[in-house]
Amino acid sequence: MAHHGSHSLELDAAPELDDDGHAPRTGNLWTCFAHIITGVIGCGVLALSWSVSQLGWVGGPVALVCFAFVTYISAYLLSHCYRSPDLEKRQRNYTYMDAVRTHLGSAAGLFESSNLVAPFQDHLWEKRTWLCGLLQYLNLYGTAVAYTITTATCLGAIKRANCYHEEGRDAPCSAHDEHLYMLLFGAAQLVLSFIPNFHNMAWLSVVAAIMSFTYASIGLGLGLAKTIENGTIKGSIAGVPMSTPAQKVWRVAQAIGDIAFAYPYTLVVLEIQDTLKSTPPESETMQKGNVIAVLATTFFYLGVACFGYAAFGNAAPGNLLTGFGFYEPYWLIDFANACIVLHLLGGYQMFSQQIFTFADRSLAAMFPNSAFVSKFYAVRVPGLPSSVSYKLNLQRLCFRTAYVASTTGLALLFPYFNEVLGVLGAIIFWPLVIYLPVEMYCVQRGILPWTRGWVALQAFSAVCFVVGTFAFVGSVEGVIRKRLG
């Protein structure tokens, strides 16, 4: 006990730090909830009415509830992996990659009994860590492409809403400017990509959260109002009829991919947990935050999806706010679309800055003596005082320009909102949301193969693998068919 007393005196004398030497974390249940909502409710919510219309009145709501359950289990498993397996030195894993490296990075501790197995296992774990990183960055990159497509659609919808309002609903208001809007969005992102420390601006998360709540609420309200106005609930048990059973199967797969894109926030669970105070234990706060956030999201998603389907039935548009089921009040539709654009302007940077940081670090490590990579040039900015200059780095200039150009180019080539979301949702669903969290949890908790817990987790993983593969194949088929058709 004496040791404990002296330890607290030491802490009183020095500034309080957390057990890893960082400044004390101050996050609580409500900041955790806000971060999760920012991470979850994005442009995926706008495709949910369409997804429910493909699955019908039984399959749609059931699929949404099942994905809510899977998302909760995934976040539950992962939140236990924030502190690493060694109970003496309880180091923190700040990111998803850190957790994979800590729990699955070396097999030495797991396979001490067999010297023959360890080298092979080490190679396998190393590959998993590498695969995890690859998929994570691929998903961030793909999201940037999806955001470019969505922004162009929203700007086109604002233009058409005003046109329909002035000239009547039968006016030939076309949306041929969408390529131009994608180029404009790309140009804006190019400028934003060079703002130093853009990702440190905490207000970005707050603005994004407010915007996503606003446009999702408008979508919910309009769907509800339209259903009341119709005086009937549209839609059917089986959903949209298709000319052949095969087409129906592909559509169902794509709808599942879209739902898979809208839900999971596994990639940011540990980053959110790293903001929480350590009393009560972070995993406890995170558990409560997960429950509240998944319940709130599911309530919201079911509302948007089901009221959207009830209002439009089998004609539910692919994107609830740009598909012109709603014409009036036109200013409200304009406002909702403007909120989406603002959210996506910041969201693109939130995802892309992680790739920029990774590229900067990797290239600096690979070419430590290269002036191209490490030298900064002071450039005068017109209109600002002569004492202020911008630090220009050639590697950043080239890499970030090429990155933004490639996301814009892919969006121009494949401007298919629902199909692209489906591919993105399905590609990471099983590896990152299910497989790795299950494997890490087994290591963390010392769950041995063929015990009851292990069998249950592996069965869960296997079912999700089948669902994820089905959604992926269907969504890729959708993209190819649209591109060729």
Measure CA of the first residue to CA of the last residue in the chain; give whole Å: 75
Averaged pLDDT, 392-410: 96
pLDDT tens for residues 24-75? 888 899 888 888 887 788 888 989 999 999 999 999 999 999 999 999 999 9
- Collapse the DSSP code of 92 into the 3-class scheme (helix H, G, I; strand E, B; otherwise coil) and give the result: strand
Residue in 475, 342, 480, 467 with CA at minimum distance from that of residue 421: 475
Query: Three-class SS of residue 93?
Result: coil
Select the more confidently predicted residue: 467 or 278. 467
- Nearest C-alpha neighbor of 372 from the set 390, 396, 391: 396
How many percent of the chain have pLDDT more than 90?
57
Residue with tokens 């609580």: 28
Asked if 264 and 471 touch (Cβ cutoff 8 Å), the reply is: no
Alpha-carbon separation of residue 149 from 153, 156, 317 (angstroms): 6, 11, 16
Mean local confidence (pLDDT), 163-167: 88
Between helix 203-230 and helix 29-40 the angle, nearest 10°, is: 60
The secondary structure of 348-409 as a DSSP string is: HHHHHHHHHHHHHHHHHHH-TT-HHHH-EEEEEPTTS-TT-EEEEEHHHHHHHHHHHHHHHH
pLDDT of 89 > 50? The answer is yes
The residue-averaged pLDDT of 382-391 equals: 82
144-158, 344-358, 366-380: least confidently modelled range: 344-358
Give the pLDDT score at 15.
Answer: 57
> Three-state SS for 116?
coil
pLDDT band at 175 (very low <50, low <70, confident <90, very high): low
Whole-angstrom distance, CA of residue 454 vs CA of residue 284: 23
- Is the pLDDT reported for residue 138 higher than 60? yes
Q: How confident is the model at residue 327 (pLDDT cuts 50, 70, 90)?
A: confident
Task: Using a pLDDT cut of 70, give the percent of the chain over it.
Answer: 90
- Over range 408-417, report the average pLDDT: 94
The most confident of the ranges 11-20, 160-169, 264-273, 283-292 is 283-292
C-alpha–C-alpha distance, residues 122 and 281, integer Å: 31
Residues 471/260, Cβ–Cβ less than 8 Å = yes
- Cα(247)–Cα(240) distance, rounded to whole angstroms? 11
The answer to whether 55 touches 240, Cβ cutoff 8 Å, is: no
Question: What helix, strand, coil percent values describe the chain, rounded to 5?
Answer: 70, 5, 25
How high is the pLDDT of residue 197? 61
Q: Report residue 198 as tokens.
A: 């853009």
Average pLDDT, the chain: 87
CB 26: neighbour CB atoms within 10 A? 9
Alpha carbon 242 to its chain centroid, in Å, reads 31
- Token readout for 171 is 């006016």
pLDDT in the model for residue 483: 92
Cis preceding linkage at 61, omega within 30: no
**Residue 200 confidence class, pLDDT cut points 50, 70, 90:** low
Predicted local confidence at residue 110, as pLDDT: 44
Which residue from 376, 359, 323, 361 is spatially nearest to 160, judged by alpha carbons?
323
pLDDT at 42: 81
Quick one: CA torsion of 101, 448, 77, 79, rounded to 10 degrees?
A: -60
Q: Is the pLDDT of residue 85 over 50?
A: yes
pLDDT of 410 > 70? The answer is: yes
* Helix residue ranges, H only, 199-281: 203-230, 245-262, 269-273
Quickly count: other Cβ atoms within 10 Å of residue 28's Cβ: 14
**What is the average per-residue pLDDT within 345-365?**
89
CB-count exposure of residue 366 (10 Å: 0-12, 13-18, 19+) = exposed
Residue 389: strand pairing partners: 380
Q: What is the pLDDT of residue 172?
A: 82
More confident residue, 40 or 183: 183
411 contact partners, CB below 8 Å, separation of at least 6: 145, 148, 149, 152, 182
Does position 251 have pLDDT exceeding 50, yes or no?
Answer: yes
Distance CA 344, CA 334 (A): 15
Residue 353, φ and ψ in degrees, nearest 5: -60, -30
pLDDT digits (tens, 9 = 90+) for 91-134: 889 888 889 988 887 543 444 434 555 566 667 777 888 888 89
Assess whether pLDDT exceeds 50 at residue 207: yes
Residue 306 neighbours by CB under 8 Å, 6+ apart: 52, 60, 61
Q: What angle do CA 285, 288, 294 make, to 5 degrees?
A: 130
Nearest to 18 by CA among 106, 94, 87: 94
Closest by CA position to 54, among listed 262, 280, 322, 236? 236
- pLDDT at site 321: 86
Sign of CA dihedral 74, 354, 407, 332: positive
How far apart CA 225 and CA 393 sit, in angstroms, is: 53
Residue 7 confidence class, pLDDT cut points 50, 70, 90 = very low
pLDDT in tens, 261-303: 998 888 889 988 988 988 888 889 999 999 999 999 999 999 9
From CA 278, how far away is CA 283, in angstroms rounded?
9
**For residue 200, what is the DSSP state?**
G
Q: Which residues fall within 8 angstroms of residue 358, CB to CB, at 6 or more apart?
A: 137
- pLDDT tens track for 228-246: 999 999 999 999 999 999 9
pLDDT at residue 87 above 60? no
